[in-house]
Structure 1
């Protein structure tokens, strides 16, 4: 045996795979160390008919039958190679192997090499991948089922909410549409009485045999009912199986589980304003999974938005107005914090919004020099900039994370006065609101947010048939966002005074536009304002 043969033999012995060489009859001529170590009790298998051994288990093993057919085909010269993946499990573990057979000749005598590679790691990875793929396919099937079931529901509820003329009509139409959708059997919308804090169903629809709650629902007194939990926490709450719910007997009569199986409550919220709660009963257990809740939350948002629009419209058309004055004492209130830090009076001037919808509040501070830097360091101030600086004061534009000014606007409130002096350490707020309910809602908001909120005065009064608010509402439908911003910034910054408090270049820079673009927005806004004031139809001739 020459060096080449020695090298080949040594290499074969050290390979980390099992190798055997067969003669033309299928008998084993040679095995390597890995082969012998795989089943050491059986020896080296030299002289054993490998094909016959495989045939012994052929009747019981489909993989053995395929191995025999493949090996015989290679031994007969019908094919040059063959491979087969097969399991080789033990009671302790699962294992898989890949067998490969290759035909070759030595001195014109046919030979076949048989190699076995362990592929357990690869097979386990493939099994995991297939399991994950099946889970994804199941998720896709479930999602398609949900989308098919709610097909048209979203559009119908949106149409019902947007097309309604009153809040009562929204609640009535939405409840009816939801009750018509499987698997829901009852739907009701509840409102909170501001004085008693009780939650009461105002509108409901569904099967007559499904009862409404027997007991009173009172906020913060008993948080076991999902509607109370949803309102207290501002998050959807679900009972997936009423028969396993500890407090079911208190809220629903005995045997209710035969009429419905699960309950969901979703708060109706628009910004900081809560208009009530939507409660749904379903005849199936676990009816409200994450996909279902996403759809219902979207619907609840649409309903609340429509309610807010109706409340705002009602304020524009009502003949009476409620004026509320409150004193707020809290170190976190921006106007008092800034007044105390600077030692000067802080007065509210107005509210506008930037292109991203961020509320920008304008305040006049009876002080000059470094006022914006002081404001920027206060908690709750995201950004502070100077719109204009005078000899005795500074006009600030502030983006506030506190959001109290925008929250008051969402409640339908119009700020008449909002100021603070360093001596009093109290913020004085005067608001106009469309009705008593809005006033109570705003006062609740102030009590929840601040350490102390004291009601100073409250009275209702008639207002003229056409007010500046009517004009503002009409203008709001005509002005673009940029035109309104240019007009508001110019007014708040005393651009229309003489001498001007700020230049057009400065205002353009604050809006991140060119000077010519700013003046285009401003001129267009001024034209629309004058058209509204003088009732001029811009499309008329002459």
Structure 2
């Protein structure tokens, strides 16, 4: 389980409301990104460590709102009340603004704390002012906006607490679903996960009324039978999908007959995404039609973002401790893929040797080409290849170093994928990747299928790492090797410099790095020493 404080801070950073946590003296201990980014706040440049109550009290004689805020927070600090809220204006020379402040008392590790949030309610206030001519319109708008405020104040707080307090993914999903159905008019919520191999969406966790059964059938992405399902549409589009009136939606009976009756009138499906990684989909049903309007849906999407952030934090922690990895193997048949273009033009076989990065972070991929004539010219003219270097020449071909500024290899790196194999024989590229978890595997597979026309999933399997892996050694070396030392070591290895007899000289490798022979050997010797120290568990006394 990741540290609660770290997970709470990560979740708070995503909230669209300003949040601060005070100690029992009123001093600010923690703020979120919205608080720090708020323009015009006098605490915006020096918030942590500032006494919030004392700062507000400086204006209490001239500002009734400041006086009320100080009174309310002081009552909470004194233990006379648990919560306090108030609305106040905070106008700037450029615009008029109003906010809702809410302070709540809680305890953490036996210490009393106070959370303070400020919610922008300017839209509601402006709507009330503009609607003064129509009392009924004002009342209706007020009720609608109060409804949204209630959800923001309740749902955001409770769902965030559920996400922050949970220790596993299952627990987060279960508590979030339960909290949602505890709020009217929601009657059923479920979270589905996607199997990357079968492309099936399986309802993993659900909560709702006992007389509303969960559907039994799995849903399949890109299936004509299931395409109308909002969960399928949300995942395929990467955006929320809403049906405001199920009774008028003909396809509802095909994908969930039991929920098209009196219990359920509208449905929203919201993808759970963090960056490029999709964790699943949240599907929420309401007993009233038209619930998921322009006010309701943004709140739910913000909640989904908070849940995704919590899921990512847990997955990140698990990646650091688990011994399980996912191996994904695909075949790509597309002439636009740079290795396929190279192999097709030269009528040659391409074999992947390895990957490193230069000082600017540009990937440098090493490929053996079993054809010498014209290889450099062809590779240079391929889109996405910035520079081509001949590392060494063999009897049966060349070892090329390709600096890749765009395309598949840089994209794989952003998904945390490690290339195990990337070979081309004919018109089909065989790509084998190692990924940290199923979510990364699914996101990577989706990225590949979106880029290329014909992609076939050859295998998908989870396996355990051995007790000590090359990746473990590599992680330690990354902290000790300089960029030049790592590049010298990797180039020498990929070019078979350590074979005997050597097919490449130190001068050639030095030239490919743009350094002198002596400098190259200095980097190489330092890297070799650190590698051996790591392998033999030596206690290094020098960083070279």
TM normalised by structure 1 equals: 0.53
- 1:272-323 Cα shifts (integer Å, max 9, x gaps): 5543211112344333234544444444345445545655655554556565
Max Rg structure? 1
Give the drift of 1:203: 0.5
1:232 — aligned with what? 236
Native 8 Å contact 2:388 2:401 kept in 1: yes
* 1:415 Cα deviation after fit: 1.9
CA positional deviation for 1:334: 2.3
Aligned partner of 1:245 in structure 2 is 249
CA displacement, residues 175-232 of structure 1 (integer Å, 9 cap, x when unaligned): 2343345553332101234566443311012444444337653331232221122223
Residue 178 of structure 2 is aligned to residue 170 of structure 1: no
C-alpha RMSD of matched pairs (Å): 5.4
Shift in alpha-carbon separation, 1:168–1:145, aligned structure 2, 3 A: same
SS at match of 1:397: strand
Change (3 A) 1:295 1:226: same
Task: Give the whole-Å Cα distance in 2 for the aligned partners of 1:426 and 1:191.
Answer: 31
2:406 is aligned, of 395, 400, 410, to 400
Deviations along 1:492-514, one digit per CA (max 9) or x if unpaired, are: 5559984473579959xxxxxxx
Query: Do the aligned partners of 1:189 and 1:201 also contact (CA within 8 Å) in 2?
Result: yes
- Distance change >3 Å, CA 222–CA 492, structure 1 → 2: same
Q: Work out which structure has the larger RCO, using CA pairs closer than 8 Å and 6 or more positions apart in sequence.
A: 2
| Structure 1 segment 156-167 matched on structure 2, within 5 A | 157=159, 160-161=162-163, 164-167=166-169
Name the SS for the 2:345 alignment partner. Answer: helix
- 1:19-30 pair list within 5 angstroms: none
The secondary structure found in structure 2 opposite 1:466 is coil
> 1:398: how far off?
0.9
The answer for the alignment partner of 2:304 in structure 1 is: 300
The 8 Å contact of residues 190 and 201 in structure 1, kept in 2 or not, is answered as yes
1:137-286 matches, cutoff 5 A: 146=148, 149-151=151-153, 153-154=155-156, 157=159, 160-161=162-163, 164-181=166-183, 183-193=185-195, 197-213=199-215, 217-219=219-221, 220=223, 221-252=225-256, 258-270=262-274, 273-286=277-290
Q: Which runs of 5+ in 2 are unaligned?
A: 1-125, 132-136, 498-505, 516-523
| Partner of residue 430, structure 1 | 432
Q: CA deviation at 1:172?
A: 1.8
- Matches of residues 234-383 of structure 1 in structure 2 within 5 Å? 234-252=238-256, 258-270=262-274, 273-290=277-294, 292-304=296-308, 306-307=310-311, 310-311=314-315, 314=318, 317-319=321-323, 325-341=329-345, 345=350, 347=352, 349-350=354-355, 360=363, 362-364=365-367, 366=369, 375=379, 377-378=381-382, 381=384
TM-score by length of 2: 0.53
1:406–1:348: structure 2 CA closer, same or farther, 3 Å change rule?
A: farther
CA contact (8 A) 1:242 1:262 kept: yes
Report the alpha carbon displacement of residue 538 of structure 1 after superposing the two structures with TM: 10
Check conservation: 2:421, 2:432, Cα contact below 8 A. yes
Question: How far apart, CA to CA, are the structure 2 residues paired with 1:148 and 1:530?
Answer: 62
- Preserved CA contact (<8 Å) 2:277 2:439: no
Partner residue of 1:501?
A: 509
Q: Is the 8 A contact 1:325 1:430 kept in 2?
A: yes
5+ residue gaps, structure 1, are: 1-129, 508-521
Q: 3-state SS of the aligned residue for 1:150?
A: helix
Shift of 1:325: 5.0
